[in-house]
Structure 1
Amino acid sequence: MPVNADLHIHSPYSMAVSRFMQPEQLLKGCVTKGIHVLGTGDALQPDWQKSWQLYLENDAGIVIVPQGEIEDQRRVHHVILAEDLAQFSQLRDLMAGKCKSFETSGRPHVYLSGGEIAALAHDVGALVGPAHAFTPWTAMYACFDSVRACYGDEKIDFLELGLSADSSYGAAIPDLYDVPFLTNSDAHSPYPEKLGREFNRLRLQHRNPKEVLASIKTRAIEMNAGFFPEEGKYNRTACTRCFTQYSIEQAIGNRWRCPADGGIIKKGVSDRAKELAGEGTPRPRPPYVHIIPLGQIIQTMEKTSSPNTKKCTAIYATLLSTFGNEIAVLIDAPVAEIRAVHPKVADAVDALRKGTVTLHPGGGGKYGTFSLG
Structure 2
Amino acid sequence: MKDYYSDLHIHIGRTMTGKPVKITGAKSLTFTNIIEHARNEKGLNMIGIIDCHSPEVILEIAQLMETGDVTEHQEGGLQYGDLTIIPGSELEIYDENCQGPIHVLCYFPTLTIMKEFSYWLSNHLKNITLSSQRIYASGRGLQTKVKELGGLFIPAHVFTPFKSLYGKGVHRSLEEVFDKDQIDAIELGLSADTAMADQIKELHNYSFLTNSDAHSLKKIAREYHVLQMAEPSFLELERALKGEDGRRIKANYGLDPLLGKYHQTVCSQCFAPFDPIINECENCGSIKYIKGVADRITELKTSNELPDNRPPYVHQVPLEFIPGLGPKMLQKLLDHFGTEMAILHEVPLEKLSEIIPAKTADLIVKAREGKLSLSAGGGGKYGKISD
- TM-score calculated relative to the size of structure 1: 0.87
**Conservation of the 8 A alpha-carbon contact between 2:50 and 2:105:** no
**AA paired with 2:197?**
G
**Conservation of the 8 A alpha-carbon contact between 2:35 and 2:80:** no
Q: Residues 264 and 86 from structure 1, CA distance in 2 versus in 1: closer, same or farther, beyond 3 angstroms? A: farther
Q: 2:364 aligns with which of 334, 349, 354?
A: 349
Name the SS of the counterpart of 2:341 in structure 1: helix
- TM-score calculated relative to the size of structure 2: 0.84
Name the SS of the counterpart of 1:66 in structure 2: strand
After the TM superposition, which of the residue ranges 125-134 and 110-119 deviates more from structure 2? 110-119
2:188 aligned with 1:161: yes
How many residue pairs align between the two structures? Answer: 354
**Structure 1 CA distance for aligned equivalents of residues 379 and 272 of structure 2:** 8
Partner of 2:33: 25
The C-alpha deviation readout for 1:264-317, integer Å capped at 9, x for no partner, is 3121111112222234312242112222222442xx146xxxx23xxxx1x323
The C-alpha deviation readout for 1:197-252, integer Å capped at 9, x for no partner, is 111111121232332232223261111112111111111111222112123433xx
**Structure 2 CA distance for aligned equivalents of residues 189 and 60 of structure 1:** 22
Q: What does 1:8-19 align with in structure 2 at a 5 Å threshold? A: 8-12=9-13, 13-19=21-27
Partner of 2:223: 198
**AA paired with 2:114?**
F
The C-alpha deviation readout for 1:28-54, integer Å capped at 9, x for no partner, is 321211111111221221111222231
After the TM superposition, which of the residue ranges 4-13 and 200-209 deviates more from structure 2? 200-209
Q: 1:88 aligns with which of 114, 122, 127?
A: 114
Partner of 1:68: 89
Q: Residues 97 and 277 from structure 1, CA distance in 2 versus in 1: closer, same or farther, beyond 3 angstroms? A: same
The C-alpha deviation readout for 1:79-99, integer Å capped at 9, x for no partner, is 112211322333334445432
Partner of 2:199: 172
Partner of 2:140: 115
Partner of 2:97: none
**Structure 1 CA distance for aligned equivalents of residues 188 and 70 of structure 2:** 27
**Conservation of the 8 A alpha-carbon contact between 2:46 and 2:84:** yes
**Structure 2 CA distance for aligned equivalents of residues 195 and 262 of structure 1:** 36
Partner of 2:346: 332
After the TM superposition, which of the residue ranges 281-290 and 230-239 deviates more from structure 2? 281-290
2:310 aligned with 1:283: no
2:272 aligned with 1:244: yes
**Structure 1 CA distance for aligned equivalents of residues 179 and 30 of structure 2:** 36
Query: Which structure 2 residue ranges, 5 or more long, are not aligned?
Result: 14-20, 72-78, 95-99
Identity of aligned residues (%): 30
Partner of 1:235: 263
Structure 1 position 371, deviation (Å):
2.3
Name the SS of the counterpart of 1:352 in structure 2: helix
After the TM superposition, which of the residue ranges 38-47 and 274-283 deviates more from structure 2? 274-283
**Conservation of the 8 A alpha-carbon contact between 1:82 and 1:213:** no
2:376 aligned with 1:368: no
**Structure 1 CA distance for aligned equivalents of residues 202 and 346 of structure 2:** 33
Q: 1:129 aligns with which of 114, 132, 154?
A: 154
**Structure 2 CA distance for aligned equivalents of residues 44 and 126 of structure 1:** 13
2:178 aligned with 1:151: yes
Name the SS of the counterpart of 1:329 in structure 2: helix
Q: 1:271 aligns with which of 280, 295, 303?
A: 295
Partner of 1:4: 5
**Conservation of the 8 A alpha-carbon contact between 1:319 and 1:329:** yes
Structure 1 position 153, deviation (Å):
5.0
Partner of 2:44: 35
**Conservation of the 8 A alpha-carbon contact between 2:198 and 2:303:** no
**AA paired with 1:178?**
N
Name the SS of the counterpart of 2:277 in structure 1: helix
Name the SS of the counterpart of 1:112 in structure 2: coil
**AA paired with 2:271?**
F
Partner of 1:185: 212
RMSD (Å) for aligned C-alpha atoms: 2.2
Q: Residues 44 and 24 from structure 1, CA distance in 2 versus in 1: closer, same or farther, beyond 3 angstroms? A: closer
The C-alpha deviation readout for 1:153-199, integer Å capped at 9, x for no partner, is 543111111111121211232111110011111111112xx011111
**Structure 2 CA distance for aligned equivalents of residues 78 and 369 of structure 1:** 29
The C-alpha deviation readout for 1:19-77, integer Å capped at 9, x for no partner, is 11113321232121111111122122111122223153365421111111000122100
Q: What does 1:245-264 align with in structure 2 at a 5 Å threshold? A: 245-250=273-278, 253-254=279-280, 260=284, 262=286, 264=288
**AA paired with 1:330?**
L
2:49 aligned with 1:48: no
